[in-house]
Amino acid sequence: MTAFPPLPAPGDLVPSEPVWSYPATARSGGYAHLRLFTVPGGGHLALVTDPGLGTSVTNAAEHIHAALTSQYGEPLWMIEHYPAARTMPDDGETLDLVDLVGREPVWRQIWPPLPRHRRRSVSVAGVADW
């Protein structure tokens, strides 16, 4: 199992791009709502919301992470967000922390909370306000 870095508290909102274009492969890409926050102590926290336009955030996670790191530097924490309208009927809204192991993305669910016996100590208070 991958050891994820702790999820930082977001600082100031840098850009909020409702229609941010991202690369996926040499032939395709997608669009997402990007909210990027500074992180106290250095780095950025990116909240990438998938509206369903083009290649999914899930399928382009490593490309998105690379594009954001190239533009904003490291460390970078990336949260993949699917609104309730974009998930399976019973899934509701989801938030997953995405990390790269080598060049492969690995996800850790942070919302909705896991059942109590599987819950990790991750705080996402205030996500609705992002």
- Per-residue pLDDT at 2 exceeds 70: no
- Per-residue pLDDT at 116 exceeds 50: no
Beta-strand ranges (E) seen in the chain are: 13-23, 29-38, 44-54, 76-82, 94-101, 104-111
The pTM (predicted TM-score) of the whole model is: 0.79
Query: To the nearest whole percent, how much of the chain has pLDDT over 90?
Result: 46
Higher model confidence: residue 15 or residue 35?
A: 35
pLDDT of residue 77: 94
